[in-house]
Amino acid sequence: MEPRTSWSKAAIAWSWRLLLAAALALSAATPPAAAQPAASLDPAHPQLVLAPHTRYLHDPDGSMPPEQAWREVAAGRFQALPGTGAAFGFQHGAYWFHVRLENRDPTQPHWLLVQDYALSDRLDLYLRRADGRTTHQAGGDHLPFAARSVRYRHPNFMLDLPSGAPVDLLLRVESQSSMQVPLTLYTPAAFIELSRDAQLGIGLYYGILLALFIYNLVLWLTLRDASYFWYLFHLSAFGLVLLTLNGLGFEYLWPRSPWLADLSVPLSICLAQIGMQQFARAFLRLRRIWPAGDWISLAGMGFFVALGVASFWLPYRIATPLASASVFLSIGWIVVVALVAVRRGDALARLFLLAWSMFLLGTGMFTALAFGLLPKSFITEYGVQIGSALEMLLLSVALSYRYAALRNENERIVRRAKLQLESQVLERTGELRMALAQLESVHARLSEASRRDPLTGVHNRGWFRERFESLLEETRAQGRSLSLLMIDLDHFKAINDRHGHLVGDDCLRRCARVIDGSLHGYGALVARYGGEEFIAAVPGVDMLHARELGEEICARLRAEPCRTRGPLVPVTASIGVHVLDADADGQAADVALQVVDAALYAAKSRGRNRVEAAQG
């Protein structure tokens, strides 16, 4: 019994070993991921989003070969995508993605696999069929653009999927950019329709940017306002960012340069941030309303300048995440600056803040998607385009309002300056008129002073000659007579010699007052004719009356001696009289003066202190 028992135990052990070996062999022969349900491709669905059917595995050091990845699939170590979908943010190493496909559309063996993200560096696609045959395709922006199956901005692969046979798709993605691997399968017809609609949307977006660019370029060239220039810089730099992020830069600008494809991402982000900060400074007049904040903005711009220059040497995996993360701080700071401007009374800062909020929302969602914080969707993927388009439109409107406000303010300043100028002109005109009146008065006084004898105060000989001729014409025209009295102070030289010239001057002044006072009521012209000679022209007085006036002057001079600074000095005068009758023939002024001078000479020769009339 014992030998049979031992043999039975040995047989059982060998049986278990054979069963285990058979199980292992069966496992090895079974296609990978047999337990994973296949994604079905059917005529009713010309496109299929693969995220619900995709499992992934992270290879931290990126060294896993495809054979090992297939074994991991077979071992069930691939896991379902997280809640954010196929967006993992900036990660090291490589990611493997596995999908089991089954084409149930016999009329459509060709399908296009598209990764809806433009910035992945390297993609390796392994397609294993039911018979174990495996094919390999490569893509990504570290290969020339022409290596893609279809000339499209996103990496893509054309797949040959025979009807009714399951196929395993294994995709390895390695990138220093954000790890985003949204995969979609399209029939060629569906892809053509998709690309047409996508290109139309992108064309509309860039058409809006181009229209805004041309419109504001014309305004800048016309107005030379720095705000318009920095708006154009911001618009152009951000347009370059989106060209890069959408893969259009690699498609149209540098399709043969993977190096430029990598460099353009951090560099365009830095340029856009510089434009954003400088536009905010110029538009909000930050230097005036908040000098400290202006210095912070300048420091932020300096950081982006340094980072943009460093991007030429920094590894892509460092420069791009750093630039992307800095976008949060940059936009947040602009919001802070706008809030400060609103609090300090800038009316247009509210519109600026609204515009920037749109941009902040769109860019924030896009950046959060890049870091794997939000799932990929239409809003998160195209939020930056939507937000930036609204922002550009609102900023353009804000610039228009700002220009209108500045124009109104300038007009108000000009009107106020004009009113002030008119007031000043009127004031200056009044002052000028007053000054001219004063000048005329002074001139008149100076002119009068120049025509008067400075010692006696009566007019001088020159003035008398001018006025005598005109008075003579007037009296003749009026039919009136004109009398001339030539008055000479007797023995005046003896007075000067005896008492001095100062006493003589006192006598001259007193005699001038007597003569002028005697003739003042007759409208006479009285002047000092020489040293001690005076002359008077009395209109409307005949010879008899003229002699009486002469006798009155002589009597007044005799009646009272001259009071001087020295002794009392008696003074007498000799007077010659001549009358020019209105009905007589016209006599020249010089002749009349000679005649009256002769009459004076006769008075002096006949004993002085008397009045003599001219003969004839």
Q: Identify whether 386 is part of a domain.
A: yes
- Whether the Cβ atoms of residue 532 and residue 476 lie closer than 8 Å to each other: no
Residues 210 and 148 in one domain: no
Look at residue 487 in the predicted model and tell me its pLDDT.
93
Listed in sequence order, the residues at least 6 apart from 595 whose beta carbon sits closer than 8 Å to its beta carbon are: 484, 578, 587, 614
Domain carrying residue 262: 200-415
- Whether the Cβ atoms of residue 536 and residue 475 lie closer than 8 Å to each other: no
Instruction: Look up residue 305 and give its DSSP letter.
Output: H
In this predicted structure, the answer to whether residue 2 has a pLDDT above a threshold of 60 is no
What span, in angstroms and rounded, lies between the C-alpha atoms of 347 and 345? 6
Mean pLDDT of the chain: 83
Q: What is the CATH number of the domain that holds 99?
A: 2.60.40.2380
Residues 493 and 390 in one domain: no
Residues 158 and 209 in one domain: no
Q: Identify whether 292 is part of a domain.
A: yes
- Whether the Cβ atoms of residue 53 and residue 98 lie closer than 8 Å to each other: no
Residue 80 in 3-state DSSP? strand
In this predicted structure, the answer to whether residue 21 has a pLDDT above a threshold of 70 is no
The interaxial angle of helices 543-559 and 501-519, nearest 10 deg, is 140
In this predicted structure, the answer to whether residue 41 has a pLDDT above a threshold of 60 is yes
Q: Identify whether 105 is part of a domain.
A: yes
Q: What is the CATH number of the domain that holds 538?
A: 3.30.70.270
What span, in angstroms and rounded, lies between the C-alpha atoms of 217 and 221? 6
Look at residue 19 in the predicted model and tell me its pLDDT.
40
User: Among 526, 523, 539, 520, which residue's Cα sits nearest to residue 473?
Assistant: 539
Is the model more confident about 282 or about 445? 282
Total-model pTM: 0.56
- Residue that is last in its domain, among 361, 385, 415: 415
What span, in angstroms and rounded, lies between the C-alpha atoms of 281 and 230? 9
Look at residue 372 in the predicted model and tell me its pLDDT.
60
What span, in angstroms and rounded, lies between the C-alpha atoms of 268 and 323? 10
Residue 357 in 3-state DSSP? helix
Dump pLDDT digits (tens) for 378-408: 565 565 666 666 666 666 676 676 666 667 7
Print burial letters for 35-72: b (CB count within 10 Å at least 16), e (below 16).
ebebbebeeeebbbebbebbbbbebeeeebeeeebbeb
Residue 545's pLDDT band, with cuts at 50, 70 and 90, is very high
Look at residue 10 in the predicted model and tell me its pLDDT.
41
Dump pLDDT digits (tens) for 85-138: 788 888 889 999 999 999 998 889 999 999 988 889 999 999 999 888 999 999
In this predicted structure, the answer to whether residue 373 has a pLDDT above a threshold of 70 is no
Instruction: Look up residue 452 and give its DSSP letter.
Output: B
Structural domains counted in the chain: 3
Residues 379 and 507 in one domain: no
- Residue that is last in its domain, among 389, 415, 441: 415
Q: What's the whole-number mean pLDDT along residues 31-37?
A: 53
Dump pLDDT digits (tens) for 169-211: 999 999 988 888 989 999 999 898 888 877 777 888 788 778 7
Look at residue 381 in the predicted model and tell me its pLDDT.
58
Look at residue 488 in the predicted model and tell me its pLDDT.
93
- Residue that is last in its domain, among 415, 432, 453: 415
* Location of structure tokens 């365009």: 268
**Max mean pLDDT range (65-69, 454-458, 521-525):** 65-69
- Whether the Cβ atoms of residue 251 and residue 153 lie closer than 8 Å to each other: yes
Residues 308 and 397 in one domain: yes
Tokens of 315: 């590894």
Contacts 24+ apart (CB under 8 A), 513-522: 514/553, 514/556, 514/557, 515/458, 515/487, 515/553, 516/458, 518/549, 518/552, 518/553, 518/556, 519/485, 519/549, 522/549
What span, in angstroms and rounded, lies between the C-alpha atoms of 520 and 536? 10
CB atoms within 10 A of CB 320: 25
In this predicted structure, the answer to whether residue 443 has a pLDDT above a threshold of 50 is yes
Is the model more confident about 577 or about 232? 577
Length of the chain: 616
Is the model more confident about 447 or about 211? 211
- Whether the Cβ atoms of residue 561 and residue 571 lie closer than 8 Å to each other: yes
Phi, psi dihedral angles at 584 (to 5 degrees): -80, 165
Residues 240 and 356 in one domain: yes
Question: What single letter denotes the amino acid at residue 462?
Answer: G
Question: Can you name the residues that pair with 114 across neighbouring β-strands?
Answer: 156, 184
Tokens of 25: 């062999």
User: Among 451, 573, 463, 446, which residue's Cα sits nearest to residue 508?
Assistant: 573
Residue 78's pLDDT band, with cuts at 50, 70 and 90, is very high
Residues 169 and 205 in one domain: no
Residues 345 and 310 in one domain: yes
E strand intervals along 414-539: 482-489, 525-528, 533-539
Q: Identify whether 384 is part of a domain.
A: yes
The interaxial angle of helices 291-310 and 316-343, nearest 10 deg, is 160
What span, in angstroms and rounded, lies between the C-alpha atoms of 591 and 573? 23
In this predicted structure, the answer to whether residue 499 has a pLDDT above a threshold of 70 is yes
Instruction: Look up residue 83 and give its DSSP letter.
Output: T
Dump pLDDT digits (tens) for 132-156: 899 999 999 899 998 899 989 899 9
Q: What's the whole-number mean pLDDT along residues 412-430?
A: 80
Tokens of 277: 């900060």
Q: Which of 191-205, 369-383, 432-446 has the lowest mean pLDDT?
A: 369-383
- Whether the Cβ atoms of residue 562 and residue 506 lie closer than 8 Å to each other: yes
What span, in angstroms and rounded, lies between the C-alpha atoms of 139 and 101? 20
**Max mean pLDDT range (188-202, 266-280, 582-596):** 266-280
Q: Identify whether 15 is part of a domain.
A: no
Residues 278 and 372 in one domain: yes
What span, in angstroms and rounded, lies between the C-alpha atoms of 283 and 423? 35
Burial of 91 (0-12, 13-18, 19+ CB in 10 A): middle
- Whether the Cβ atoms of residue 230 and residue 279 lie closer than 8 Å to each other: yes
Look at residue 217 in the predicted model and tell me its pLDDT.
85
**pLDDT exceeding 90 applies to what percent of the chain?**
31
**CA dihedral of 608, 609, 611, 616, whole degrees rounded to 10:** 0
Q: Identify whether 596 is part of a domain.
A: yes
Residues 217 and 351 in one domain: yes
Q: Identify whether 178 is part of a domain.
A: yes
What span, in angstroms and rounded, lies between the C-alpha atoms of 234 and 216? 12
Pairing between strand 183-186 and 94-103? unpaired
Residues 392 and 537 in one domain: no
Tokens of 293: 């904040």
Q: Identify whether 341 is part of a domain.
A: yes
Residues 481 and 603 in one domain: yes
Is the model more confident about 323 or about 368? 323
